[in-house]
């Protein structure tokens, strides 16, 4: 199957028993995310369904691409084994193996709408990712420093759970962070894996730690770059520069405290970087206590 036909096939509406397909809402990596409603509920119940396709990884007879597809499914299972009922991790409702049909899928919490929150209007729905939040109206913007601290704390708690369970996310960046009931959560959970330096890296270069994306400390590096974008409104490519007019910002003193956390998280020298998400979390909570 050529690339064009494979892409077209992937974007066809997916039918799963118990769910009604509405539309595609996102794409990336090896699959697509669709908007569904769950049947048998009194109120309209919207969920997101991610479908990961075997053929996107490579030819069916290729052992390496087959192993990569299996790792993606294992990553999903790993996440489900540790997520539990934590409010800081994405809730997965349903996992379905359709390997003989060339894919697997999982139904999960739907991100808030970028403008309407939990009032979902399928016709105009746009997921509230951190990337979309930072690029409202087509222009980059920063978030208030106090809000950056709150978002940072929530994400650090989620990372702490994953890391202490022996897993890494491997792709922490604004496009992979969604808001559910205003709580930030890591998405693209099928990339979850152990600390394996042999695994391929998918994270863009500017978010990637110099030693690779296979460790918990690499997640912290990427998280620091993400926090930098939130606080400054600048592109990740601009790191470590700060806005020229920062001294005139009402919250510039708080931002300077956050910047110390960012600098430690993004240290290229591992000996100077946080050795755990807990350490970064503790410093962020310390800043919140001063607000």
Quick: pLDDT tens for 172-229. 999 999 999 999 999 888 777 766 656 666 788 999 999 988 899 999 999 999 999 9
Dihedral in degrees, nearest 10, Cα atoms 135, 136, 138, 141: -50
CA separation for the pair 106, 145 (Å, rounded): 35
Q: What is the pTM of this model?
A: 0.90
Omega before residue 80 within 30° of 0, cis: no
pLDDT at 9 over 60: no
pLDDT band for position 5 (50/70/90)?
very low
CA separation for the pair 26, 15 (Å, rounded): 17
pLDDT band for position 75 (50/70/90)?
confident
Per 3-state DSSP, what percentage of the chain is helix, strand, and coil (rounded to 5)?
A: 45, 20, 40
pLDDT band for position 4 (50/70/90)?
very low
Counting the structural domains of the chain, the total is: 1
- The pLDDT value recorded for residue 86 is 86
The CATH number of residue 103's host domain is 1.10.510.10
Mean of pLDDT over the chain: 89
Quickly tell me which residue has 């296979």 as its tokens: 214
Average pLDDT over residues 72-84: 88
CA separation for the pair 48, 120 (Å, rounded): 12
Report the percent of the chain where pLDDT is more than 90.
71
CA separation for the pair 212, 63 (Å, rounded): 24
Quick: pLDDT tens for 39-72. 876 667 999 999 999 999 899 899 999 998 998 8
Q: Are 186 and 230 in contact (CB under 8 A)?
A: no
- The pLDDT value recorded for residue 40 is 75
CA separation for the pair 258, 252 (Å, rounded): 10
Query: Shortest CA distance to 36 belongs to which of 26, 27, 23?
Result: 23
User: What does the chain come to in residues?
Assistant: 291
pLDDT at 12 over 50: yes
Written as six digits, the tokens of 168 are: 């890494």
DSSP H helical segments within the chain, as ranges?
3-10, 54-57, 63-83, 130-134, 145-164, 216-232, 252-265, 277-290
- The pLDDT value recorded for residue 43 is 62
The residue range of the domain holding 243 is 3-290
Average pLDDT over residues 111-127: 95
pLDDT at 1 over 50: no
CA separation for the pair 132, 193 (Å, rounded): 26
- 29 or 205, which is more confident? 205
Quick: pLDDT tens for 216-273. 999 999 999 999 999 999 999 999 999 999 999 999 999 999 999 999 999 999 999 9
């Amino acid at each position: 199957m050529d690339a064009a036909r494979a892409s077209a096939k992937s974007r066809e509406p997916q039918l799963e028993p118990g769910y009604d397909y509405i539309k595609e809402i996102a794409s990336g990596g090896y699959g697509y995310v669709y908007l569904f409603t769950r049947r048998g509920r009194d109120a309209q119940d919207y969920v997101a369904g991610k479908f990961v396709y075997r053929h996107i990884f490579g030819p069916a007879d290729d052992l390496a691409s087959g192993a990569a597809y299996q790792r993606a499914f294992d990553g999903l299972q790993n996440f489900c084994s540790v997520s539990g009922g934590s409010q800081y991790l994405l809730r997965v409702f349903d996992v379905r193996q359709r390997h003989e049909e060339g894919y697997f899928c999982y139904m999960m919490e739907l991100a808030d709408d970028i403008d309407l929150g939990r009032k979902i209007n399928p016709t105009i729905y746009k997921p509230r990712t951190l990337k979309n939040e930072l690029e409202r109206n087509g222009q980059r913007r920063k978030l208030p420093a106090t809000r950056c601290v709150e978002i940072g704390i929530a994400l650090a708690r989620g990372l702490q759970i994953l890391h202490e369970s022996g897993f890494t996310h491997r792709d922490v960046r604004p496009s992979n962070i969604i808001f559910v009931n205003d709580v930030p959560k890591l998405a693209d959970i099928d990339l979850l894996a152990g600390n394996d330096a042999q695994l391929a890296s998918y994270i863009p270069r500017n978010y990637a730690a110099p030693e690779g994306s296979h460790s918990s400390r690499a997640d912290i590096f990427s998280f620091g770059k993400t926090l930098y974008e939130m606080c400054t409104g600048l592109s990740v490519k601009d790191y470590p520069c700060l806005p020229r007019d920062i001294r005139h910002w009402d919250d510039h003193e708080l931002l300077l405290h956050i910047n110390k956390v960012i600098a430690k998280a993004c240290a290229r020298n591992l000996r100077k970087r946080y050795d755990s998400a807990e350490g970064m979390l503790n410093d962020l909570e310390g800043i919140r206590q001063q607000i």
